[in-house]
Structure 1
Amino acid sequence: MTDTRAFAAQALADVALRGVSLRDAMERYAPRLPDARDRALLMALLSDGARWWLRFDPVLDRLLDKPLRQKEPAIHALLVLGLVQLEVLQLPDYAAVAATVQAARALQRPRLAGLVNAVLRRWQRERTELLAFLDARPQTRHAHPAWLAKAITQDWPEQADAVMTADNVEPPLMLRVNRRRSTREALLERLRSDGQTAEPHDWLADGIVLPHSTDVTRLPGFAEGAFAVQDGAAQIAADLADVKDGQRVLDACAAPGGKACHLLERADVALTALEFDEKRARRITQNLDRLGLAATLAIGDAGDPSGWWDGRPFDRILIDAPCSATGVLRRRPDVRLHRRESDIAPMVAQQRRILDGLWPLLSPGGRLVYITCSLLREENDAVINAWLDGRQDARAIAFTLPAGQAAAVGWQMLPGDGDLDGMYYAVLEKV
């Protein structure tokens, strides 16, 4: 079978109904498609299918006499993809329906091909009524789980609709020039000579913006490590860390290594990249090697330094804390399918534990930068406020950024602010 839509349906069923990550699904199915255009279509269908699942999955209960999720998960996912093609990708009706029906046959379900055709034709006939049904609730209007739509509305009542709308917009591709290998001006010239539409970011010194995703391994400069892929919200971390030559720096929870590499590109520092998961740590090594950078890699628990710390304090500590990832739904649409409200409290406990474990490792006068890719106050300024309460050896450093808004402590980027991902930052100094 080489039908791209059939592969996409199988992959989407894995992601939406079996909890497989989007990355793992792509790694499983993409190699089966030899043509680069088919792989690109697979990625587009799978990303948009995950992004819009929570909008179109519920409507199938109105369009089907009997649910297919359990007995025929690939066909159920295929129907979601059919609706995505019609409503999101806005493919011509005849092409979207015909190709989806053919995919049912490619899935060796010829007896269900007629059902697929009938469901999609019924959607077209009843489209106005069904869209009104979906638009009546925030979770189906914006394709967010109900608990998250409620949390966003509670935390950011004035921005909630804009945030959830931004979550469903394809983000631009952001690059970070490797100052050790190139300048931004030189890299921009190479990219433009290659036919790419590339622009410098307005206020991030190392940022380059391309309007759409592409195979970055084919871009000029990738092989020799002239750049890395990193959203601009993540690039802010290096500015806040303000590293200087000769400092000892710890990047905790470092995988895949983007922020660690950025710090090493900025200054000659002795950097330790700490990661709990040995498999994820291998990605740090791969990124360091490609970019021509060197760091000490430590495998261990950020909340319990006794197993890996050498007793020498750090001048800078970066904590990219484990979090809900609710700020990066536009880039990781599968998070909305896998994250649960019950996940948040254990994450908050882990964030506090890591802060408690690493603060003693910071030198007097040193700086700790706390970051999450969450937009939930419970994980962000509430954590820092509670942690600072009653402490005599820590103070929050106030700062502003050209986009986003001040939090109770620190700064919050919401998804779409400055066309960047959602991210929270707090900068703490040891006194």
Structure 2
Amino acid sequence: MSQRNPRATAAIILDKVIYGGTSLSQLLSDNDDSIDPMVKDLCFGSLRWHERLSALLDLLLTKKLKAKDKDVECLLRVGLYQILYQSAPEYAAVNETVAAVKGLRKTWAIKFVNGVLRTFLRRKESMLHQIESIETAKYAFPEWMIVSIRDAWPEHWESILEQSNLRAPMTLRVNLSQQTREQCQAALAAEEIESRAHPFVESALMLEKPMSVFELPGFNEGFLSVQDAAAQIAASLMKCEKGMRVLDACAAPGGKTGHLLEMTEGLDLVAIDNVDTRLLRIGENLERLGLEAQITVGNASEPSDEWAKPGFDRILLDAPCSATGVIRRHPDIKVLRWKEDIEQLHEQQIGILNTMWGLLNDGGRLVYATCSILPAENEQIVAEFVKSHPEAKIVPIEAEWGLAQQYGRQVLTGIDDMDGFYYAVIEKS
């Protein structure tokens, strides 16, 4: 793939995401150094502004391209993205996009792509003014998401959409069992890497500029990891103690697993995920950190005898969700998620929560977490669960981060430089 023209490569990937329904992370691994960084930027940027680019294409194309030629349409998206959001001269962007048609092996499209993009250059200002009246184009979000977020957060919805369209900061988790945050910050500064401490998460450092993890001093030795500050909150809410039996359900890629083990020695920790290839990431992360856990394939909806023996003192349920809180890191969510998914996820989430509850010891603690900002996946789940389980006690989360809810606490995307996350702490009386 990396041998192809990067714009053509990006167009092919976008076609598979937009019209094939494949996630960008499956097609474009962040850790695959063979992928041209330019391809990554073109894919992320084109998906981040997908609705705006779609609105422009509706004005530019007199008729839709056939299914077999959607890669050409996606190449047009790449060209429009470069013209609008990159610093290269406009005509250079057009010429380079036209040259990339050869990479699609569709020579008939050379004149077509050239004509469409040059028409846009001539009518650019009027077209951009025209699409501003289209709400989906203005906010670069699908209509159902705009409505859902506006209904859920009437005072914050525009900020959420704006923050979700920005590039997320690169945040580090300092392994506090190996060094203090100040020591880590000093080691970074010695390599001229600027960072700042997160105000509410004691293990979090935010870098001023993103960089390769392999350039970070202490990364290979397990002194630090990459993890958003909101995700780092999970381990502290668990309140684990030495000797406890702990279950990390839906654990891949293992960031929270590693953090739990860093914070508390002597845990009997079981980490499960229902995709065996994802388990490899957990193992790799723990090996780098010098930590151990029982890692096994497991479906949190259907416990098996291999791992699901009742008697866990702590359970972390990072439930499958819409991931609407991490769109700034995964812009393909705007394309891949549909309104109908939320109801299905709600049923799945409440089902898993009920199942995990049966594995928890009396007096035990379960932390329910999602990277969603939609109440149907968060507070409504916990409210429904508590009503049907009188032995479930909600533990108030006293914190400076996020917004207190009747049940749990919600972080909204971008607030305090964090991803959108929800947490609820439930104890079994």
The question of whether the paired residues in 2 share the 8 Å contact of 1:11 and 1:29 is answered with: no
Q: In the alignment, what sits opposite 1:307?
A: 305
1:348-375 deviations in Å (ceiling 9; x for gaps):
1111111111112222222111001111
Partner Cα separation in structure 2 for residue 392 and residue 130 of structure 1: 58
Q: Is the 8 A contact 2:94 2:114 kept in 1?
A: yes
CA distance in 1, matches of 2:31, 2:59: 31
Superposed displacement of residue 176, structure 1: 0.7
CA distance in 1, matches of 2:179, 2:304: 39
Equivalent residue for 1:266, pick from 253, 263, 271: 263
Residue 229 in 1 paired to residue 226 in 2?
A: yes
Q: Which has the higher mean CA deviation after the structures are superposed, 81-90 or 100-109?
A: 100-109
1:61 aligned to 2:63? no
Q: In the alignment, which residue of structure 2 is the partner of 1:118?
A: 115
Q: Which moved more, 1:333-342 or 1:61-70?
A: 61-70
2:200 is the counterpart of 1:203: yes
CA apart distance, 1:183: 3.2
What is the deviation of 1:72?
A: 1.9
Amino acid at match of 1:377: P
Contact preservation (8 Å) 1:411, 1:424: yes
- The residue that corresponds to 1:241 in the other structure is 238
Q: TM-score, normalised by structure 2?
A: 0.93
2:5 matched to which residue of 1? 3
Distance 1:28 1:161, change over 3 A: closer
User: Which letter does structure 2 place at the counterpart of 1:364?
Assistant: D
Q: State which of 169, 174, 179 in structure 1 corresponds to 2:176.
A: 179
Which one of 324, 327, 336 corresponds to residue 326 of structure 1?
Answer: 324
For 2:32 and 2:131, how far apart are their aligned partners in 1?
Answer: 32
Q: Kindly state the Cα deviation for residue 29 of structure 1 after the two structures are TM-superposed.
A: 12
The gaps in structure 2 that reach 5 residues or longer are: none
Cα offset for 1:180? 3.7
Inter-CA distance 29–96: structure 2 relative to 1 (3 Å threshold)? farther
After TM superposition, give the deviation of residue 54 of structure 1 in Å: 2.1
Can you give the 5+ residue segments of structure 1 that lack an aligned partner in the other structure? 34-38
Report the secondary structure of 1:243's partner residue.
Answer: coil
Task: Give CA-to-partner distance per residue, 1:321-372, whole Å, 9 cap, x none.
Answer: 0111111100011111111112112211111111111112222222111001
Alpha-carbon distance change, 273 to 392 in structure 1, aligned in 2, over 3 angstroms: same
CA contact (8 A) 1:15 1:50 kept: no
Residue in 2 that maps onto 1:216: 213
Q: Deviations over 1:87-113 (max 9, x none)?
A: 222432122222212222343334422
Q: State which of 407, 420, 423 in structure 2 corresponds to 1:422.
A: 420
Q: What amino acid is aligned across from residue 225 of structure 1 in structure 2?
A: G
Distance apart, 1:390 and its partner CA: 4.5
- Find 2:94's aligned residue among 86, 93, 97: 97
User: Aligned partners of 1:373 and 1:180: how far apart in 2?
Assistant: 26
> Letter of the aligned partner of 1:193 in structure 2?
A
Q: Which residue of 2 is the match for residue 352 of structure 1?
A: 350
CA RMSD, aligned part only?
2.1
Preserved CA contact (<8 Å) 1:196 1:210: yes
Alignment of 1:10-159 (within 5 A): 10-27=12-29, 39-68=36-65, 70-159=67-156
Amino acid at match of 1:95: A
- SS of alignment partner, residue 271 of structure 2: strand
**Which residue identity does 2:413 align to in structure 1?**
P
SS at match of 2:269: strand
Q: 1:104 to 1:306 in 2, by over 3 A?
A: closer
For residues 316 and 422 of structure 2, the distance between their equivalents in structure 1, rounded to whole angstroms, comes to 13
Secondary structure class of the residue paired with 1:327: helix
Paired residue secondary structure (2:256): helix
1:280: which partner in 2? Answer: 278
> Structure 1 150/253 Cα, relative in aligned 2: closer, same or farther at 3 Å?
same
Q: Distance in 2 between matches of 1:189 and 1:25?
A: 37
- CA offset digits 1:256-282 (Å, max 9, x no partner): 111111010000122111222222222
- Indicate conservation of the 8 Å contact 2:298/2:304, yes or no: no
The answer to whether the 8 A contact 2:310-2:358 is kept is no
Counterparts of 1:203 and 1:308, CA distance in 2: 38
Q: Secondary structure at the match of 2:324?
A: coil
